[in-house]
Each structure stands twice: as structure tokens, then as C-alpha cells.
A and B are shown apart, each in its own frame.
Chain A
Amino acid sequence: MIFSLRQSVALAAVACAGFGMASMAEAKTFKWSNSGDVSSMDPYARQETFLLTFTQNIYDPLIRRDKNLKLEPALATKWGQTDPTTWFFDIRPNVKFHDGSPLTADDVVFSLNRANGPGSNLQSNFVSVKEIKKDGDMRVVVTTKYPDPLLADKWAAITIMSKAWAEKNNAVNSADMTKNEENFATRNAMGTGPFMLKERKAGERTVLVNNPNWWDKPEHNLTEVIFTPVANPATRIAALKAGDIDMTYEVPPADTESLKKDASIKVMEGPETRVVYLGMDQERPELLESNVKGKNPFKDKKVREAIHRSIDVEAIKRTVMRGQSYPTNLMVAPGINGYMKDLDKRPALLKPDEAKKMLADAGYPNGFEVGMDCPNDRYVNDEKICQAVVAMLAKIGVKVNLKAQTRNLYFAKILRKNDLSPGETSFYMLGWSPAQTYDVHNVFEALIQTPNKTTKKGQFNAGGYSNPELDKLADAMEQETDKAKRDDEIAKATKLYVDDFAYIPLHQQALVWASRKNIDLVQPADNSFPLRFVNVK
């Protein structure tokens, strides 16, 4: 009797376990949507966060970023420098591509060369590289022209593709735009990542399925992922409410409140690493668009200070951004290496009289007039922010004539020309995230160093701010491998541009994501969306 009871309990337990397993194996389809499609399945087609991070669901990099953007081993189990100009990467053993073929050093060397080859848009990650070669089947050795402490950080964006597959399908290089021929890798994929590409209909839908043979232990429970681009934000929100999709990002600020009230929806907000800032032309002897002739008011630090301290970023946050911004006084955001928390304090706002007096001291008792350029489809509420700035500066007697236009016209106008001569702007808005390295040096190099044709620094320093002392520090930190020394250089350089009022940092915009209540996911600050952390309950 007792025996049979035990037996039946055991049976029940087995049955339960079986049942449990059956429900675990149940198909978990995750449907999500964004405003635009991934432009290609080729992971080297664009240096663009969305493309790079979407393809990372299919292709693994050597080193990947975790939830907090810190580096962790992926296809490389170990990496480091044997001397200042030599790096090694040890390849993870027993990793298989989606077609079952094993990963070797050949694939890694091939992929790195493809990413640095014709048609690729990732070549800027390889500027310091002299040679990439394999050392045995499971190790890759890279020599650089000069010490490059950020090589591993840059390469966290470079994923690994199957060499045999690319060769078989005539996709050894990325698509060449000047030829009218299709590149196989534009629509197909062969990586080692957590998901496999099942269906790709550009502009319509992209379907991924779980890779059961992934080398890492999955933290997700998805069997299938369907991505659909939906351009109209109202439709995206309606689809989420109707349950036709499980998650969307780029939620319009106006919809956030109504979504928070919906019991079946979860809203996640967090700061994005991109900093939106204003820049001033400090290069030309006379501004292009101003009533001040014969001199450039922005060359005067007092003028820059008066303007900086008259722009109320908290008011912009309250009114224009509906609370969805994180005001800052630095050109890099928390989470980026080199962010200095103790320097991130905005100086006190000036009363209009005080600011006017400061302008009068600088020689502009009646203020002045200046043109301002602003995009109207690039950053969250970009045009409205500029309008707010116009109103704030009107109070101190600076009359700003705003010209807001679509990004493709806007960037062509304000960015520096091919020969690095200044673009056509006096006062402008830009946003920047060091998405390549997650390190402050990228910001110094691109935005703050003196524009220089031979060293190629300061390419995006549209206002032409120049400080030789800062240039020296930035050059030093580029090759400094000693962390303490480097941090010191960063601190000094940061203080220089802050004290100079070189730029007017405004804020980090908020990333607003929304999902159904039964979805668990991770929202990294770099605007990537790793599917490997998604769970459907």
C-alpha cells in the first residue's frame, strides 16, 4: 500500500516534471517594433548603433558589452597586450556557427579584415592597426602602429562572420554601392550569436529564431523574435496597446503619460549616452550671420559665459522635454569612461540684468543679433529646444534668428567641409555619443580638439574652439596606457573646456521604451536592445 502510494507520488512527480518541461518548451514569440528598419543584415554596412546592435543578436563580437556597458568575454576568452603595440585575442574553443561549422582564428582574421575592407563602414575602428594575423588555430595577434589603449573597446562593435560562408556566397567584401549587384550578406547572415536569421524582408519584417547551440547559457526564453518597422508613432503605440507587438522603443514624449496609465503596459525610462549641446563659432574673425561687424562676439569667453548661464536647462526639461531629459554640464554622460562626476555642475543661472552687464563688459551693451541652426528631425524635440533657447536669450538682449531644417540639409550646412574649413553656421545644436569606444577621448578628438587637416583631429568641432593645452592633453591620453596618468589627463582636459565655456551642454535625452507587462528586458544606456536579456512570462 505504502509502496504503491510512493509509486504514484513518483509518477505524479514525473508527470509534473514532464508537464513543466512541456510548458517550458512552449514557443515564446517576441514581437517588437521601431520607427525604422535595420538598413542591412551585413554587420559592417554602417557605423550606426541600431545596425551594429541589431546584428549583434546574430553575430557575436570578440568582446561584448554587458548590461552596464562594461566589457566581458564573448568569442575571445582572453585578450590583452603583450607589449604596448601588440594585442592578443584567445578564441573561445568549441563555438559553432549557425550552420554547424566550428569557429577558428581564420574566421576572426577574415572578419576583422572584412570590417576594414572595401564597402565596410567600420574602417575608422582600424586606424591604429598595422597587421592582423593568426597564431595557431585559436589565437589572433594584432600589431598596432602606435600604442592604442582603446583597441578592445572599439572592437566590441566588430562581430565575427563565417569565412567559408562569405567565400561560398561571394560576400567577401561588404556591398559596393557603385555596382548594381546584390551582396549576399545584405539579406543573409552566418554568425555564432544567440539568434539565427530565419526571414529577412527589408522594410517589412525580420524574423530571428533561438540558436539552441549557442556557446553561452541563454538568459532569455525566446524561441522566435519578429521585428517589424512601423514608421508612424501613433500606430506603434496602438499596436502595443492592442497586443499586436510586445515592445517598442522611441516612444514619443507625448504618449508616455497615457502609456503609464495603461495597466497592461510597462514604461522604462533611462538616460541615453548621447549628450545634446549647443556650439558657437569661435573661429571666424566675424560671424557669418550676425549684426556685429569686424569682430566675433563668441571669441570672448565672457559672452560665452553669459549665454551659457542664461540658458535654463531645468526649464527646458520641465516644459519642452516633459521631464524626459537629464541636464548636464559635460560633453560626456555617466557610463562613458572619463565622465567626471565632480565637474558635472552647471554654474548658477544669471539674472537677465547680470547677464546683460556681463555682455556690456564684453562690449555689447545692447546685445547683438546672431543666426542659429537647428535640426528638426534628429533629436527629441530639437526644434522646440532651440525655440526655448531663442526665448531665453531674447531676455538678455541677444536676438537669435532660428533656422530649423531637416537633418540632411542641416548637417550639410553646419558640418566642416572636406578640407576641414568651417561649415556655414554661427550657433548650432548637435548631439554626440562616443559610441565607438565609450571613452571620453573620442569626444575630445572629434569635438573639442583644434581642427587640423593633417592629424585629422577636431573633424566635428564645428565651432572651431581651440586650446593648445587641451590638444596636448588629448593627444597624450590617446596613447597613454597607464590608467592613473590617463585619468589625470582626462580630468585636466575636462576642466579646461568647462572653464572656457567651450560648448553649452544641455542634456542627455531620455530613452523611453514601452512593453507589455509580461515582458522582462534590459535597457542599456547606449540605445542598444540586446534580445539575449528578454524574457516573456
Chain B
Amino acid sequence: MIAFILRRMLQSIAVLVAVGLVAFSLFRYVGDPINAMVGQDTSMEDRAALREKLGLNDSPPVQFLRFISNAARGNFGLSYRTSEPVSRMIFERIPATLELAFCAAIFVLFVGVPMGVYTGLYPKHWSSRLLQTVSLLGVSLPPFLLGILLILVFAVMLHWLPSFGRGETVQIGWWTTNFLTLSGLKALILPSITLGLFQLTLIMRLVRSEMLEVMRTDYIKFARARGLSNRAINFGHALKNTLVPVITVMGLQLGTLIAFAIVTETVFAWPGVGQLFLQSVQFSDIPVMAAYLLLIALLFVVINLVVDLLYFVVDPRLRSQGGAAKVAGH
């Protein structure tokens, strides 16, 4: 188990370095950050001096090595756009993104899984068919369109919810949270739905097909024969056996929720890291882009690790295999 984790961590470092390298080779194509940093009247001489000062004249490998060695020490430099420390910019925005992704995940889990179970248990019922059709809409609507539609209905027409932003937040240490104010909670609703709807559909369909499969198996028939209650069968036995693929997908989707919050955050002017990344792309703000990409890579690595560990918890067969593997000295 520990050997497994260690091995995964080594792999992770390799992944991060690779991501950094790819990112850096891409940055040469986002354009000249100097132009975004200076005013129209800034002379060519001053531009050249600034370029030299920022080390942009060095070759990409040199720039990359400098970046990696600084990053390893937790130093990401100052943003070209705002001249604030990059690490702080990211830390300030990460609570917003994580809270949004968390709420979207909760929405996916607590709406998507029951919907999947329901449509799996009663596949022929008219309401299941309705849910299936509606969920198709969720897959086919792009998030920016869905977001704007929700804003139009719930903010512009009904005035129930705010059209953008986080509302009032409460500061706890360095973390800012939406969960402690009414306006903060209200502000979470529309972005969470926008962000989660696609995943919701995915999870619902996954759970449904897994349920359909499991309900046909012999052990469910035996369980019925033993006279277990429907509830115990459906949730205790059937659902639990559908969970391995669901956890895998859910885990990866959580990473996706955070990484692809970019669109939702932009539509709702949600002050998270996704929006920060997009602003940085417009300004060729290389330090921020590099730090963001590394952070997202790190996130996926961690999530994958956690998902792998969760398999051990859910599936007893893996535990014994893992044991056997250790004996065999793999």
C-alpha cells in the first residue's frame, strides 16, 4: 500500500515536470506579454529594457529551468498584469473555485445518483423516459448558453437570484466562504447548476446502466428470494455494486469540474482561478498561466491517487489482490 503511494508520488512529479515543459513551450505562442504591460506611448527602448529585465530574451529552456527551480521553492514571481505575487493571487481565488466545484459535485451526487437509481429501477416508467429526455438537453447545451439562460430567467425575469458574482463572503483565516451568508448561498445556485448539469447527466446515465445490469444478476434474485426489503436490495446491494465505475468517473469529473469551471466562472463573473486564468491568457501573463496549469495538473494527480485508494475501500477483491501482489513482490 505504502509502496503503491510512493510509486504514484514519483510518477506525479514526472507528470508535473512534463506539464510545466509543455506549458512553457506553448507560451511562446500566446504572444508578447510586454505589449499588454505597457501603454501605447511606451518607447521601443523602454519595452526592450523591460523585456530584458523580465528575462524574456533568454532561451525557453533557460526560462523553464528558472521557472521550475523557483516553483519548487514555492516562488511563482509577480504577475505581469497586476504585479501582485502569483501564489497569493491563486490562493485568494482558489476557495471560490473549490466551493463552486464542491457545490456542483454535491448537486451531481445528490440529484444524479438518485435519478440514475430511479431510472434504472423503473426503466419503462413514463417519468424515467421524461428524465432521460431532459437529461439529453443537459448534455447538449453548452455551459455558457445554459448559464446565460439561467441568468435571464432567474435574475433578469424573476429577480430571485443574483446575476453574477459571489455575493457576501465571510473570511475564515485565508479562506473566504460563501456558505455563511444568505447572499453567498444564493449566488452559488446558478453557477453550480450550470457547472454540474453536464456531469449530472453523465452520472445519471452511468448509474442507470450499471443498475440495469446489476438488477439482472443472480445475487439480486437470491436477495429477493430471501425476502429482503426493496430498500435493502436497491441501495444496500445493487447500488453498492455499481459504485466502482461511478467513483472513478465521479473522481475524474471532480477534477474536470475544477479545471473546466473556466467557462462557468467567466459567465457568472465568479472570482475563481478559472477566471483568473482566462484574464491571464488575454494578457499573456505567463507566471499566472504557468502556476495555474501546474496547480491543475497537481489536482488531477491527487484526485487520481485518492480514487485509486477509494477502490481499495469499496472493492474487497482489490484488497486481497493487492495483498497477493505484495507477496508476489510486484
**A186 touching B82, Cβ below 8 Å:** yes
Contact of A203 among B147, B268, B271 (CB under 8 A): B271
Q: In the complex, how many residues of chain B place their beta carbon closer than 8 angstroms to a beta carbon of chain A?
A: 61
Give bound CA distance, A416 to B44, whole Å. 8
> Is B58 engaged at the interface, CB distance under 8 Å to the other chain?
no
- Complex: A409 Cα to B35 Cα, angstroms: 9
Chain A residues in 8 Å Cβ range of B193 = none
Interface size class of A (residues with CB under 8 A): 35 or more
Whether the pair B284, A235 counts as a contact (CB closer than 8 A) is no
A241-B156, A409-B31 as given contacts; A418 in contact with B47, CB under 8 Å = yes
CB distance from B269 to the nearest CB of A (A): 4
Most buried by A among B45, B53, B163: B163
A85 on interface, CB distance cutoff 8 Å: no
Tell me, rounded to whole Å, the shortest Cβ–Cβ distance linking A34 to chain B. 11
Chain B's closest residue to A274 (CB) is: B40
**Residues from chain B with Cβ under 8 Å of A415 in the complex:** 35, 44
- Say whether B53 contacts A178, CB under 8 Å: yes
Give the distance in Å from the alpha carbon of A178 to the alpha carbon of B55 in the complex.
Answer: 9
Least Cβ–Cβ distance between A225 and chain B, in angstroms? 15
Instruction: State in angstroms the CA–CA spacing of A408 and B155 once bound together.
Output: 36
Asked if B165 is at the interface (CB within 8 A of a chain A CB), the reply is yes
A39 interface contact, C-beta 8 A: yes
Please report the C-alpha to C-alpha distance between residue A409 and residue B283 in the assembled complex, in whole angstroms: 11
Q: A418 to B48: give the CA distance in the assembly, Å.
A: 6
In the complex, A433→B46 CA distance in Å? 20
- Once the chains are docked, how many angstroms separate the CA of A442 from the CA of B50? 23
A124 and B29 alpha carbons, distance in the complex (Å) = 30
CB-defined contacts of B76 to chain A, threshold 8 Å: 180
Residue A131 at the chain B interface, CB threshold 8 Å: no
Name which of A19-27, A214-222, A226-234 contacts chain B.
A226-234
Within 8 A of A (CB), among B140-170: 144, 147-148, 151-152, 155-156, 159, 162-166
Interface-located stretch among B85-93, B117-125, B214-222, B309-317: B85-93
Is A482 among interface residues, defined by CB-CB distance under 8 A?
A: no
Q: How far is the CB of B311 from chain A (nearest CB, A)?
A: 39
A residues in contact with B83, CB < 8 Å = 39-40, 42, 45, 174-175, 177, 183, 186
Is A513 in contact with chain B by the CB < 8 A criterion?
no
B36 touches A239 (CB 8 A): no
B82:A202 contact, CB within 8 angstroms:
yes
Whole-angstrom CA separation of A241 from B276 in the bound complex: 26
For A203, A234, A377, A411, which residue has the most chain B Cβ atoms within 10 angstroms?
A203
User: Whole-angstrom distance from the CB of B44 to the nearest CB of chain A?
Assistant: 5
Distance in angstroms between the alpha carbons of A40 and B283 in the assembled complex: 14
Q: Are A411 and B39 in contact (CB under 8 A)?
A: no
Scoring A residues 49 to 87 as 1 if CB is less than 8 Å from chain B, else 0, what string do you get?
A: 000000000000000000000000000000000000000
Interface flag for A284 (CB, 8 Å): no
Q: What residues of chain B lie closer than 8 Å to A202, measured between beta carbons?
A: 82, 84, 89, 92
When distances are taken between beta carbons in the complex, the residues of chain A under 8 Å from B266 are 231-232
A285 within 8 A of B: no
Cβ contacts B266-287/A at 8 Å (1 or 0 each): 1111010001101100111000
B81 at the interface (CB under 8 A from A): yes
Contacts of A456 in B (CB 8 A): 43, 45
- Do residues A228 and B162 form an inter-chain contact, with CB atoms below 8 A? no
Question: Once bound together, how far apart are the Cα atoms of A14 and B50, in whole Å?
Answer: 64
Instruction: Tell me whether A187 is interfacial, beta carbon within 8 Å.
Output: yes
Question: Who on chain A is nearest to B29 by CB?
Answer: A409
**Given the known A-B contacts A124-B43, A180-B78, A242-B159, are A201 and B271 also in contact in the complex, defined by CB atoms under 8 Å?**
yes
Asked if A238 contacts B152 (CB within 8 A), the reply is yes
Q: Is A46 an interface residue (CB 8 A)?
A: yes
B212 shortest CB reach to chain A, Å: 40
Pairwise interchain contact A436-B41, C-beta atoms closer than 8 A: yes
A39 touches B81 (CB 8 A): yes
Using CB atoms, name the residue of chain A closest to B74: A180
Chain B residues with Cβ below 8 Å from A113 are none
Smallest distance from the beta carbon of A417 to chain B beta carbons, Å?
A: 7
Q: Judge whether B41 and A229 touch: CB under 8 Å.
A: no
Cβ of B33 within 8 Å of any chain A Cβ, yes or no, is: yes
A181 to chain B, nearest CB (A): 8
Q: From known contacts A177-B83, A432-B40, infer whether A203 and B75 are also in contact, taking CB-CB under 8 Å.
A: no
Within 8 Å CB of B38, what residues of A?
46-47, 121
Interchain CB contact under 8 A, B92 and A201: yes
A231 to B156, Cβ gap below 8 A?
no
Q: Which residues of B contact A409 (CB under 8 A)?
A: 29-32
Minimum CB–CB distance from A521 to chain B (whole Å) comes to 21
- A36 to B269, Cβ gap below 8 A? no
Asked whether any CB of chain B lies closer than 8 Å to the CB of A498, the reply is: no
Q: Which residues of B contact A37 (CB under 8 A)?
A: 82, 279
Q: Is A344 an interface residue (CB 8 A)?
A: no
Indicate if A406 sits at the interface (CB-CB under 8 A).
yes
What are 25 contact pairs spanning A and B, CB under 8 A?
A36-B279, A37-B279, A39-B81, A45-B83, A46-B39, A47-B40, A121-B37, A179-B78, A180-B76, A180-B77, A182-B84, A186-B83, A187-B84, A202-B84, A204-B271, A231-B275, A231-B278, A231-B279, A238-B148, A238-B155, A244-B155, A244-B165, A409-B30, A417-B44, A456-B45
Residues of A bordering B, CB below 8 Å? 33, 36-37, 39-40, 42, 45-48, 121, 123-124, 174-175, 177-183, 186-187, 201-205, 228-232, 234-235, 238-239, 241-244, 377, 406-412, 415-420, 432-433, 435-436, 442, 446, 456, 459-460
Top-9 shortest CB links A-B: A408-B31, A47-B39, A204-B271, A175-B83, A412-B32, A230-B269, A418-B48, A239-B163, A409-B31
**Contacts A121-B39, A177-B53, A244-B165 supplied; 14 other A-B pairs, CB < 8 Å:** A33-B269, A124-B46, A177-B50, A203-B89, A234-B148, A235-B151, A235-B163, A238-B164, A241-B156, A243-B159, A244-B163, A407-B31, A408-B32, A409-B31
